[in-house]
A and B are shown apart, each in its own frame.
Chain A
Amino acid sequence: QKEVEQNSGPLSVPEGAIASLNCTYSDRVSQSFFWYRQYSGKSPELIMSIYSNGDKEDGRFTAQLNKASQYVSLLIRDSQPSDSATYLCAVRKAAGNKLTFGGGTRVLVKP
Chain B
Amino acid sequence: GAVVSQHPSRVICKSGTSVKIECRSLDFQATTMFWYRQFPKKSLMLMATSNEGSKATYEQGVEKDKFLINHASLTLSTLTVTSAHPEDSSFYICSASESGRSYEQYFGPGTRLTVT
Spell out A's residues near B (CB within 8 Å).
32, 34, 36, 42-46, 49, 51, 88, 90, 92, 96-99, 101-104
Interface flags, B27-56, vs A, CB<8A=1, else 0: 000001010000000111010010000000
Cβ distance B102 to chain A, nearest Cβ, rounded Å: 7
Given contacts A51-B102, A92-B103, A101-B43, A43 and B109 within 8 Å (CB-CB): yes
Q: Point out residues on B near A: beta carbons under 8 Å.
A: 32, 34, 42-44, 46, 49, 93, 97, 102-110
**Does B107 contact A49, Cβ atoms closer than 8 Å?**
no
| Shortest distance from the beta carbon of B92 to any chain A beta carbon, whole Å | 10
User: Would A49 and B93 count as touching, CB distance under 8 A?
Assistant: no
Chain A residue numbers with a CB within 8 Å of B110 are: 42-43
Provide the bound-state CA to CA distance between A20 and B20, in Å. Answer: 40
Shortest beta-carbon distance, B52 to chain A, in Å? Answer: 14
B97 touches A97 (CB 8 A): yes
Q: Determine whether the beta carbon of B106 is less than 8 Å from that of A46.
A: yes
Show 7 residue pairs from A and B whose CB-CB distance is below 8 angstroms, ordered by the A residue: A36-B107, A44-B44, A44-B93, A46-B105, A46-B107, A97-B97, A98-B46
In the complex, what residues of B have CB within 8 A of residue A44's CB?
44, 93, 107
Q: Give the CA-CA distance A45 to B42 in the complex, in Å.
A: 16
